[in-house]
């Protein structure tokens, strides 16, 4: 996630006039107000992506981390929606055409940046394609790759694929 609220967070921690001394009542009032804002936001917005949530939090004057702390279920739903939207956009951009692994990695990197996903917050990768839409994965990738005999693991894990050109295996 982008650290766009770092300065606000510093001001919030330092308290009024940057003294670093904040009364217990003031902290409690701010905590209650933040909790109320998070509650209202999660009731008003049923689903959104992470960038949309970031804008909504900024409008309300709360930190996105408050959502994660006070409403973890809503935050998980936002991450899941962001992941699904990003993967769907990858699928739409690729269509039914094959692309190189480098192009695919670049596309995933772009979508992770676009949706503010990182390794701690739902980052998507090439592995997610097969889980998200197995039919699409089969059409696009398996028709260009074949499972070579005797490489399917005994424990039932997914087979490895090798590209096939003119019926000849390349390795």
Q: Which residue has the higher pLDDT, 87 or 94?
A: 87
Give backbone dihedrals phi and psi of 142, rounded to 5 degrees, phi first: -70, -25
- Chain mean pLDDT for the chain: 77
Q: How many residues does the chain have?
A: 171
Tell me what pLDDT residue 169 has: 44
Please state, in angstroms and rounded to a whole number, the distance separating the CA atoms of residues 106 and 148: 28
Give backbone dihedrals phi and psi of 145, rounded to 5 degrees, phi first: -125, 150
Write a three-state SS string for 64-114: HHHHHHHCHHHHHHHHHHHHHHHHHHHHHHHCCCCCCHHHHHHHHHHHHHH
- Average confidence (pLDDT) over 57-64: 91
pLDDT at 1 over 50: no
Tell me what pLDDT residue 168 has: 46
Q: The pTM is what?
A: 0.66
Tell me what pLDDT residue 9 has: 59
Q: What share of the chain has pLDDT > 70, as a percent?
A: 66
Residue 27, SS3 per DSSP: helix
Q: Which residue has the higher pLDDT, 3 or 125?
A: 125
Tell me what pLDDT residue 157 has: 52
Q: How far is CA 17 from CA 10, 13, 24, in A?
A: 12, 11, 16
pLDDT at 20 over 60: no
The answer to whether the CB of 102 falls within 8 A of the CB of 115 is no
Please state, in angstroms and rounded to a whole number, the distance separating the CA atoms of residues 102 and 123: 17
Confidence tier at 134 by pLDDT (50, 70, 90): confident
The answer to whether the CB of 51 falls within 8 A of the CB of 93 is no
pLDDT at 143 over 60: no
The answer to whether the CB of 63 falls within 8 A of the CB of 10 is no
Q: Which residue has the higher pLDDT, 97 or 50?
A: 50
The answer to whether the CB of 96 falls within 8 A of the CB of 133 is no
């Amino acid at each position: 996630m982008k650290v766009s609220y770092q300065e606000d967070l510093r001001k919030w921690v330092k308290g009024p006039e940057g003294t670093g001394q904040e009364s217990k009542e003031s902290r409690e009032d701010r905590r209650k107000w933040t909790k109320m804002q998070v509650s209202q936001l999660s009731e008003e917005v049923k689903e959104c992506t992470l960038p949309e949530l970031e804008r909504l939090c900024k409008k309300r004057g709360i930190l996105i981390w408050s959502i994660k702390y006070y409403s973890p279920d809503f935050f998980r739903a936002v991450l899941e929606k962001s992941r699904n939207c990003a993967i769907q956009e990858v699928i739409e951009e690729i269509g039914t055409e094959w692309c190189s692994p480098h192009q695919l990695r670049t596309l995933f990197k772009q979508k992770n940046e676009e949706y503010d996903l990182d390794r701690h917050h739902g980052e998507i990768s090439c592995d997610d394609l097969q889980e998200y839409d197995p039919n699409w994965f089969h059409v696009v990738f398996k028709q260009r790759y074949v499972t070579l005999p005797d490489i399917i693991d005994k424990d039932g894990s997914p087979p490895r694929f090798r590209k096939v050109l003119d019926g000849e295996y390349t390795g």
